[in-house]
Amino acid sequence: MSPEAFEKPIGFQDVTPTLARKKREVEARLSHVFSSWGYQEVMTPMLEYAETVGKASAISEDKMFRLIGQEKAMLVLRPDQTAPIARMVNSILQHEPLPLRLFYHASVFRTQEQAAGRRAELYQTGVELVGEPGVKADAELLALAITALQACQTSKFRLVVGHVELLAGLLASVCSSQKKQTQLTNYLIKRDYVGFEALLHQLENKEGVAEILQLCRGLDKKEYLEPLLSHSSTQVVKAAKQLIRIWDILADYGYASYITVDIRLLGNIDYYTGMYLEGFADGVGFAILSGGRYDQLYGQFGRSLPATGFAFRMNNLLDTCNIDMMETKQTTLFYPTPLRKTAIAKAKELRDAGYIVVLQIDDEQTDLVWRET
Amino acid sequence: MELLTIAMPKGRIYEEALEILADAGVPVPDDLTKETRKLILTAPEAQLAFFLAKPMDVATYVEYGVADLGIVGKDVLLEESRNVYELLDLQISPCRVSVAGLPDKKTVNGRIATKYPSIAEKYFRSIGEQVEVVKLNGSIELAPLIGLADRIVDIVSTGQTLRENGLIELETITTVTSRLIANRASYQLKYKRINQFYDQLKQHIERRGSRDEDRQSE
């Protein structure tokens, strides 16, 4: 039978021993960093109800794997980890003191339109900080992400930060038509900056448009945001204040240089409510992490709580971690059958001393023989 | 200075893309302007590397980050929906994506031949017409002549190819020009370099635009 006959479903991948070792190593380093910052690991089921967690998820329903559960309810394969954690926090963890600091290592599942090469199972390691509003929490997350990336020896990296309210406020200040604001936002979602600028240039408030375009550059110092503090829109002032404070806090960590603000950066606009972030590293064309503040989600699980979080996209992160995986040498211990008991004892002795030992019967031998293989 | 890698499209847009880079003062390697079989060319003093690719593949190379920037027709971006930043309209190689067919022919099989199945699918759905889209990779004009399809969806610039084959342009789906696109990670990591490159091209395009206007008003 050719392997084709027993191949796996499209979008799913096996993990080879070498990659599995690297993945475990990176996960261990991330766990270590998260734990040392007071975050605790949680695990949730791989299946959830479509009606509850499925609906609350930031992932659109057409991207979920669906199946029918034994009580005939529609189930989904966990499309993200944030919604299941919200369910958990508002049920079995509801009496825990807030804020809660949680982390996870999990696979999430998404059907892919463009089949070739796109993954349906994505490995994620992430954190959620629940019950803490405001910039302190947002800044903690950014600092945690940077510390974690350093611990994984990530190549040169950068976190890009946007703010839902800042963008909305800026667009509203140059354009009163709700329809045009949506159009502008849609261009940004499609990452079509040509369309975005062309539509801006049609607007009448030339001064406001020029100001927005001026902000559409890599803003790598908080000074670039300071003029916004005297903006006519209170929404803009508030969001700019938050970003500046986040930057100040990160400066105390010594992390200010890892941050760029991009006012055009948008995540799922129905989901994120404040700061939004994505991380990029040399050598990988895709984001290695994303996240932000989502203060609306918990209300869907019966108790409204402010929350902020991010997840590393492990498939991308692993490509950029320069961790030298030491090839540990393996020793094979050959023994003749009558010496089995001695061989087992010897193997234990060697393993206790840190060797990797494989036992191998070899009746041609008269005594124990071991060598590196 | 960081190295910037730029994916250039072979074919229709190539000459004009090269010209706009050269005119904007981007040091273009001599070999790029000549007939060459080399696939990768560099301008080491400017820290630029160029490679040539099929237009449909340019967006793919950029999405995966093997090229930081690319020059590509809007038609490709509409067709491929790649996850890249569309930075600048270079205003070169203007053309239309249009529906064309034989004159006075009634629709019989509702079949559309095209290199752009996704654009065609979306367009006919938006006007509420049921069609069967057949993907071809070239010589699309042949399809109505030999009865594979009633109509085609293809790029039209002067309309000469259509006329030579006795076809007429029926509807314009959209007009397209070439765009400068950027990989998402490159754009955020090499923003200084890319913004500089962007400004250089943009200023040139604006200068050229105002020159054209002057000429028209004379």
Closest CA to B96 of B149, B150, B152: B152
Helix (H) / strand (E) element for A221: namely none
What is the per-residue pLDDT for B43? 85
Rounded to whole angstroms, the Cα distance separating A188 from B86 reads 10
Q: Which parts of chain A sit beneath pLDDT 70?
A: 113-117
- Interface with chain A: mutation pick from B57, B58, B66, B188, highest number of A CBs within 10 Å: B188
Rounded to whole angstroms, the Cα distance separating A159 from A221 reads 13
pLDDT tens digits along B86-110 = 999 999 999 999 999 988 766 666 8
Out of B65, B83, B191, closest to residue A284 by CB: B65
The answer to whether residues B175 and B96 touch, using CB atoms and an 8 Å cutoff, is yes
What is the per-residue pLDDT for B208? 85
**Interface contact B65-A192, CB threshold 8 A:** no
Query: What DSSP string runs through A184-216?
Result: HHHHHHTTBHHHHHHHHHTSS-HHHHHHHHHHS
Average pLDDT score over chain B: 90
CB-based contact (8 Å) between B122 and chain A? no
ipTM for the complex shown? 0.87
Q: How many helices (H) and strands (E) does chain B have?
A: 9, 11
Domains and CATH numbers, chain A: 17-319 (3.30.930.10), 331-372 (no CATH)
Cβ contacts below 8 Å, chain A against chain B, sum to: 59
Contact residues on chain A for B189, CB-CB shorter than 8 A: 156-158, 280-282
- Interface with chain B: mutation pick from A113, A161, A189, A193, highest number of B CBs within 10 Å: A193
Contact residues on chain A for B186, CB-CB shorter than 8 A: 285
pTM of the model: 0.90
What is the per-residue pLDDT for A336? 95
What is the per-residue pLDDT for B106? 67
Binding-site positions of A read 80-82, 110, 124, 128, 271-272
Binding-site positions of A for L-histidine read 80-82, 110, 124, 128, 271-272
What is the per-residue pLDDT for B110? 85
What is the per-residue pLDDT for B34? 67
Instruction: Tell me phi and psi for residue A249, to 5 degrees.
Output: -65, -45
Confidence check: pLDDT of B36 > 70: no
Rounded to whole angstroms, the Cα distance separating A59 from A164 reads 18
DSSP symbol at A134: S
pLDDT tens digits along A153-165 = 888 999 999 999 9
> In Å, how far are A165, A235, A350, B211, B218 from A206, measured between CA atoms?
21, 20, 77, 23, 28
Out of B85, B188, B189, closest to residue A193 by CB: B85
- Interface with chain A: mutation pick from B189, B190, B192, B197, highest number of A CBs within 10 Å: B189
